[in-house]
Amino acid sequence: MQLPSFFSPIRLEDKNILSKILWDSNYKISEYSFTNLYMWRNYYSFRWAFVDDIFFLISVNKNKIENGKERIIFFPPICSESKQWKKVIELLKSWNIHSDESQDEVIFDRVPNSLLTIIKEYPNITSFLKIESDRSNWDYIYLRSDLSELPGKKYANFRKNMNKFKSQYSWRYEPISSSIYQEILDLQTNWCDLHACADDTSLSHEDQAIYEILHEWNKFNLSGGVLWIENKIAAFSIAEEISSDTMLIHIEKADTSYRGIYEALVNQFSTQLPSHIKYINREQDLGKNNLRTAKMRYHPHHFIEKSKVLLNCSFFHKAMKNNN
């Protein structure tokens, strides 16, 4: 399957235009920040295009499907108006891009409920959609005030672990700056040795991404902080503001030989955020039980629910024509 030539890879020089498109969408999903797309550009083989005021993002999955074709996954298009969804389908048909050519189908991945509501505004369209809730990719959203103030009984264990850390170790918190990049990378190297990053494709891509964004730190609009224990960095967090009220956590790493260190890092980072930040998006659990347990332990305020949408282009296109 040949992609149109105007689909481009994610490049650092695209940052300004892509950041504006993603911010203006107000989807607030963890996938839609420039830093996230840049960090995972090679892992997902991302390609993007901006056509007729519509943003398209696709991932070329190298895993083969049954008919031997490469599978192309579409991420949620960004349209300025809901009526442009007709144009989305028309463009897909004209480009002859499908997730499965034999079925004339398109798979939209990580579709937030807010966009599903717009799609369903078209009469009789849902009969041509197959919608599957994607619980593994729901984003966990927390109140900043909860993670900074730790109120009530539900945070009793959190406070206990954090306070034990604070009383047991000589520690300090400071924002990330260029003077400490190497110390952060030293911790990342040790973390990767412990977790065998070299044997895990996802972790090895993440490791490379951390190295890249630290060395290009001033080219990204990132926030971050580290915990020192005596003269060594023992934890770090990297985040990005993705809307006027939401901060997205990209990376958190810590030396867990220090009990309570993650609780201390989360609390310190949340406490240092500006007052206009109301929510913290701590991304998804990817269906991993240990991540789900850890994220639930911090008591999310709500989720950004996402779905996988399978759409038959031909039927959808005909239905929209009939509804005009």
The residue with greater pLDDT, 125 or 118, is 118
**Rg of the chain (C-alpha set):** 21
**Quick check: is 211 in a domain?**
yes
One domain for residues 272 and 314:
no
pTM, to two decimals = 0.91
Q: How far is CA 118 from CA 227, 231, 286, in A?
A: 43, 53, 26
How high is the mean pLDDT of the chain? 89
pLDDT for the residue 315: 58
Q: How far is CA 324 from CA 115, 312, 318, 320, in A?
A: 21, 19, 10, 6
Measured CA to CA, the distance from residue 168 to residue 147 in angstroms comes to 21
Domain with 316 in it: 12-138+305-322
Mean pLDDT of 11-28: 95
Mean pLDDT of 275-295: 96
Full DSSP string of 139-198: EEEEEHHHHHH--SGGGHHHHHHHHHHHHHS-EEEEE--GGGHHHHHHHHHHHHHHHTGG
One domain for residues 181 and 242:
yes
One domain for residues 233 and 254:
yes
Tokens 């990767």, residue located: 192
One domain for residues 121 and 166:
no
**Quick check: is 153 in a domain?**
yes
pLDDT for the residue 316: 58
**Quick check: is 2 in a domain?**
no
**Phi/psi-derived region of residue 52, left when phi > 0, alpha when psi is between -120 and 50, beta in every other case:** left
Q: Kindly give, in sequence order, each residue whose CB lies less than 8 Å from that of residue 186, ignoring residues fewer than 6 positions away.
A: 233
One domain for residues 38 and 110:
yes
pLDDT single digits (tens) 204-243 = 999 999 999 999 999 999 999 999 999 999 999 999 999 9
Residue 65: pLDDT over 50: no
pLDDT single digits (tens) 298-314 = 999 999 999 998 877 66
- Residue 114 — pLDDT band, cuts 50, 70, 90? confident
One domain for residues 198 and 85:
no
Mean pLDDT of 135-162: 97
**Quick check: is 289 in a domain?**
yes
Q: Are residues 3 and 97 in contact, defined by beta-carbon separation less than 8 angstroms?
A: yes
**Quick check: is 5 in a domain?**
no
Mean pLDDT of 9-35: 96
* Percentage of the chain lying above the pLDDT 70 cut: 87
**Quick check: is 38 in a domain?**
yes
pLDDT for the residue 86: 74
- Comparing CA positions, the residue from 191, 171, 165, 195 lying closest to residue 262 is 165
* Percentage of the chain lying above the pLDDT 90 cut: 73
Give the torsion sign (CA, 183, 188, 191, 197): negative
Helix (H, G, I), strand (E, B) or coil at 100: strand
Residue 82: pLDDT over 70: no
Residue 10: pLDDT over 60: yes
pLDDT for the residue 66: 42
Measured CA to CA, the distance from residue 185 to residue 44 in angstroms comes to 24
Residue 91: pLDDT over 90: no
Q: Are residues 221 and 231 in contact, defined by beta-carbon separation less than 8 angstroms?
A: no
Residue 23: phi, psi to the nearest 5?
Answer: -65, -45
One domain for residues 211 and 246:
yes
The residue with greater pLDDT, 80 or 101, is 80
Q: Are strands 171-175 and 222-229 parallel, antiparallel or unpaired?
A: antiparallel
pLDDT for the residue 119: 76
One domain for residues 153 and 109:
no
One domain for residues 317 and 287:
no
Q: Kindly give, in sequence order, each residue whose CB lies less than 8 Å from that of residue 111, ignoring residues fewer than 6 positions away.
A: 76, 306, 307, 308, 309
CATH of the domain at 201: 3.40.630.30
Q: Kindly give, in sequence order, each residue whose CB lies less than 8 Å from that of residue 75, ignoring residues fewer than 6 positions away.
A: 31, 32, 57, 58, 59, 108, 109, 110
pLDDT single digits (tens) 150-170 = 999 999 999 999 999 999 999
pLDDT for the residue 320: 55
The residue with greater pLDDT, 65 or 14, is 14
One domain for residues 209 and 61:
no
- Residue 120 — pLDDT band, cuts 50, 70, 90? confident
Specify the DSSP class assigned to residue 266: H
**Quick check: is 200 in a domain?**
yes
pLDDT for the residue 72: 83
**Quick check: is 115 in a domain?**
yes
Q: How many domains does the chain have?
A: 2
One domain for residues 148 and 289:
yes
One domain for residues 219 and 235:
yes
